A and B are shown apart, each in its own frame.
Chain A
Amino acid sequence: MIDEATWIQQAQKGDMDAFARLVHLYQTSVYHLAYRMLGERMEAEDAAQETFLRAFRNLSQYDSARPFRNWLLSITAHYCVDRIRRRRPVLVLDDELATGRVGADPGDAVAAWETRERVQRLLTRLSAEDRAAVILRYWYDCSYEEMAQILGSTVSAVKSRLHRARLVLAQMLGEGRE
């Protein structure tokens, strides 16, 4: 993105229009990560808003050598992990999940909803950190190095997180526990 660096510089000087352009550009990236992490639309919007507020407050600390998107994703991921940790434990009933699925409706919208819900159910079974690793890998095509940078971890740690998460997801699918 040719204008991104200029917008960032202008936003760092307090230009609200430039910051609004950055929000517009990255709103889907940030919101999607928040939604996949938290699994609920209202919470996801709240988290995405908080991410941009924190980004605005800390723009002076942004290192331009790093992709701006990854910097935003890092703020989002950390915020969501903290939020998940602060949550009270929720009792999830497998039977409810199994019977709560939509019936054989051929509509595309329903099919998309079903896929989304199915994936979301799988993700919520993972720990917050493992979930973040899966999301960054599968929806953001992040390399292990990028994932490590975003999550503030090491390459070997995120690799083992992703491998563990894959095994858990595969096992749940195999046992029909999604």
Chain B
Amino acid sequence: MECDKALEQMMRALDGELPDEEWQVLGAHLELCDRCRVRWEQLQAAEGVLRSAPILSPPPGFVGRVMAQVDRRRARRRAFFGGLALVAGTTLVLFIGLLPIFWTLPGWAGFLMALSRSGDVLLSHALGAAHLFLNSLGLLAGALVIQALPLALCSLMTALFLGGLWWSLLRRWQPVSS
């Protein structure tokens, strides 16, 4: 029990937090207890070794290397978000651009067939096609929900392909540092 107390005092002594009166108590214990005296000497020796070790500086050019790395990471980050924007933009443009074409495809087919036959039905079909086209624009919002999935997947695949192409080109232009 006394040795435990002495050990606790030794630690506080090493921290510079042991009051004078407790120093005297510790000193008295160390005179009587060989085990604690040896331990105290070893603790002081370890203290001396640690305090004698120098502070080490980084090799020359360290700051420059860090800043070059920061620059590279920033460029890669910008490139990544650029690629992401490209994918998102392409998906959206393809999706919106292709949807009316798919949507009005049956109408246009009818119009083309009628055109081949000509005659008085031509006018009515032309009006019908114009109506379909205008209608398709109005129905675009609804179509986004109803028939959008296959088209969105097509757009996404194309966009991902373009994104991958963009990324590989970036890697070629700007190799990733080790």
Contacts and interface: CB of A to CB of B under 8 A. Distances in A.
B66 A23 contact: yes
B54 interface: yes
Nearest to A134: B50
Contacts of A138: 50-51, 53
A48 interface: yes
Contacts of B58: 27-28, 31, 44-45, 48
A173 B66 contact: no
B155 to A, nearest CB: 33
A19 B74 CA distance: 14
B97 to A, nearest CB: 37
A178 B45 CA distance: 12
Contacts of A44: 58
Contact of B67 (A23, A36, A166, A171): A23
- Majority secondary structure of chain B interface residues (helix, strand, loop or mixed): helix
B56 A173 contact: no
A170 interface: yes
Listed residue (A20, A23, A28) with the most chain B CB atoms within 10 angstroms of its CB: A23
Interface residues of A, number: 38
A156 B34 CA distance: 29
B42 A174 contact: yes
B28 interface: no
A23 B56 CA distance: 16
A170 B42 contact: yes
Interface in A26-58: 27-28, 31-32, 35-36, 41, 44-45, 48-49, 52-53, 56-57
A119 B62 contact: no
Contacts of A118: 49
Contacts of A134: 50
Given A16-B70, A27-B58, A173-B49, A166 B63 contact: no
A49 B43 contact: no
Contacts of B53: 115-116, 119, 138-139
A39 B84 CA distance: 41
A91 interface: no
Interface string B47-90: 10111111111110011011101110100000000000000000
B42 A173 contact: yes
B39 interface: yes
Given A166-B43, A173-B45, A173-B46, A53 B57 contact: no
Interface of A: 16, 19-20, 23-24, 27-28, 31-32, 35-36, 41, 44-45, 48-49, 52-53, 56-57, 112, 115-116, 118-119, 122, 134, 138-139, 163, 166-167, 169-171, 173-174, 178
6 contacts: A20-B67, A23-B67, A28-B56, A32-B56, A53-B73, A170-B46
Given A32-B56, A169-B49, 18 more contacts: A23-B62, A24-B63, A27-B63, A27-B66, A31-B58, A32-B57, A45-B58, A45-B59, A48-B58, A53-B70, A115-B54, A138-B53, A139-B55, A167-B39, A170-B39, A170-B46, A174-B42, A178-B49
